[in-house]
Amino acid sequence: MLGGYAGKILRADLTREAVKISSLDEKKAEKFIGGKGLGAKILYDSVKPGIDPFSPENRLIFASGPLTASLAPSSARSTVVTKSPLTGIFLDTQFGGSFGVEMKLAGFDCVVIHGKAAQPTCLWIHDSSAEFLDASGLWGKGCFETEGRLKKRLGDGAKVASIGPAGEGLVRYACITFERYRQAGRGGAGAVMGAKNLKAMVVQGAGKIRVANSKGLKEAVKAANERIKNNHFTPLRRRYGTPLWVAPVNSAALLPTRNFSTGVFEGADRISGETMKDKIVKKDGACYNCPIACWKYVCVDSGKYIIDEFVGPEYETIALMGSNCGVDSIEDIAYANLLCDDFGLDTISTGNVIGFAMECYEKGLIGKEDTEGLELKFGNADAEIEMVQRIAFRKGLGNLLAEGVKSAASKIKKGSERFAMHVKGLELPGYDPRGAVGMALAYATSERGACHQRAWTVNAEIRGRLKPRYSVEGRAEFVKNAQDGRAMCFSLVLCDFMPFKTKHFVDLLNTATGFGLTENEYVEAGERIWNLTRLFNIREGMTRRDDTLPPRIMQEPLLDGVAKGQMVTKDMLDAMLDEYYALRGWNKNGIPTQKKLNELGLAA
């Protein structure tokens, strides 16, 4: 058996309450590694094109990687893969904590769920087996209460993944909450769980994972930890967590503000990482086996919204639920974040759709008759918090917004499509691409829609590593290489904050598994995984015309700050796409050529 893997895949059929356990296909593991890659392969092979993501035929795949539960730093992370109900295309979403570790120690590299349970159900996985538990009494409960009750019943060591009312109500950007504080956030995996009547999945394991070369792995881990220690971002991440980015992103005029109408927020100082640390952070925390420890436990003990203790908010939440909605109170943002985590909502999409609704309200495209009297103006934190609840429970306007910004704009019409900020249906995250041109290409070509985690050019652009500034030059190559690298990082599965060079990843992977990949073969595996997700999307009908940007980005220049006057025109995007497709070995329509598929071992 391969080192680094548990060696088994569990398939759970919710309709028949049956499980099947099979051996991991070692050839597939070597080709697609684990996590995102292996999940993508299983999804591609088992889901017929055109199915409704809410149908029982859709798969919900929890996938760990060969480094999950190993000594490697950040080896806690795992992946959920499914067909997204928000975009109708491929979705993978990573999460931290230690759920994936327990799943692997319980005996499984992947858990593949299909069908639909007759009643609310909890899948309880332990000791190389699984049980279906009645979860009717938990339906309607938030994620926090659900987790508390399941731990009481199954033991404190059990790790819980659950959905809240948003997932139950099929809000298309419902997330899965893991161990209270970690989320598989983007694209609606929580709604797929809801459609399957799966309220929760609980795992606990006591097994051991053998690695191919334990001495070699220890050395690779030592080198990786040294790299983390010497990276200049490590102390900043430890001190402020991801909110460290609020100030520099605002200075570069990229901070989404009032539904991306500008990139400079006058209240940025009040929501920065420094302010958050001073005002509400109480202690730090970390995912299993991570020396960076970027979690920030926050506490608010006065004012309108009290928070006992929880982890958050991250940079993305601050950008979308803060500046993007004109909200400048870090305490209010933290409370909106807490509600999203408990109800099971992705904070990025939620902040984005509320910002959109606020702009519709301010422009008079919707009125008090639509908001049931709510003054849905930018900067109104009470209105934002109320809208979070209405979206989660699909009340009034919340029901429309629960379908996502693309769908909401198509119903509201009146020109609102121009400022519906999404790509392929996935709402834009926290960087305005007009001031960082590479992000425009990253969003346009991301396999799951507008995403900052597939390729992140922001630091390279604002620090002058990618020059000239505001140019298309060099962006295609940077984005392609980053996407392939991240595809591997999310397949191993490690955290994308690890500042490793390719050699570190390769040494960790080879010593754990015994694969013996060269650096070139490692990079090629990332390219293979990226191309497989592209094939999935093409099979669902996506073409070059979907690799695009919201009209606001291509037609309205930025209003303020150092990037004032910048936009990414259609010509600029086309130039980057032509170069990017050529580098990828795809044709002008963005379809991988037969030659490329042969090279990557993906030919049918």
The nearest distance, CB 290 to ligand SF4, in angstroms, is: 3
Residue 108 contacts residue 209 (beta carbons within 8 Å): no
DSSP string, 89-116: SEEEEEE-SSHHHHHHHTT-SEEEEES-
The nearest distance, CB 209 to ligand SF4, in angstroms, is: 18
Cross-strand partners of 295: 285
Residue whose CB is less far from ligand SF4, 74 or 84 = 74
User: Is 125 exposed, middle or buried, given 0-12, 13-18 or 19+ CB atoms closer than 10 A?
Assistant: buried
Question: In which region does residue 11 sit, left (phi positive, over 0), alpha (psi from -120 to 50) or beta (all else)?
Answer: beta
Instruction: Return the CA Rg of the chain.
Output: 22
Residue whose CB is less far from ligand SF4, 236 or 293 = 293
- CB neighbours of 162 closer than 8 A, spacing ≥ 6? 138, 143, 146, 147, 150, 176, 177, 199, 200, 201, 344
Residue whose CB is less far from ligand SF4, 117 or 489 = 489
**What phi and psi values does residue 401 have, to the nearest 5 degrees?**
-70, -25
The nearest distance, CB 78 to ligand SF4, in angstroms, is: 11
Residue whose CB is less far from ligand SF4, 51 or 236 = 236
Residue whose CB is less far from ligand SF4, 265 or 315 = 315
The nearest distance, CB 292 to ligand SF4, in angstroms, is: 4
Q: By CB under 6 A, name the binding residues for ligand SF4.
A: 74, 96, 286-287, 290, 292-295, 495, 497
Residue 348 contacts residue 429 (beta carbons within 8 Å): yes
- Is-cis flag, bond preceding 291, omega within 30? no
- CB neighbours of 127 closer than 8 A, spacing ≥ 6? 106, 107, 205, 206
Rounded Cα distance between 465 and 475, Å, is: 11
The nearest distance, CB 96 to ligand SF4, in angstroms, is: 4
Residue whose CB is less far from ligand SF4, 74 or 548 = 74
Residue whose CB is less far from ligand SF4, 76 or 333 = 76
The nearest distance, CB 77 to ligand SF4, in angstroms, is: 6
The nearest distance, CB 148 to ligand SF4, in angstroms, is: 23
The nearest distance, CB 238 to ligand SF4, in angstroms, is: 9
Residue whose CB is less far from ligand SF4, 139 or 497 = 497
- CB neighbours of 159 closer than 8 A, spacing ≥ 6? 97, 98, 99, 101, 102, 103, 178, 179, 202, 203, 204
Strand 8-13, strand 110-114: pairing: parallel
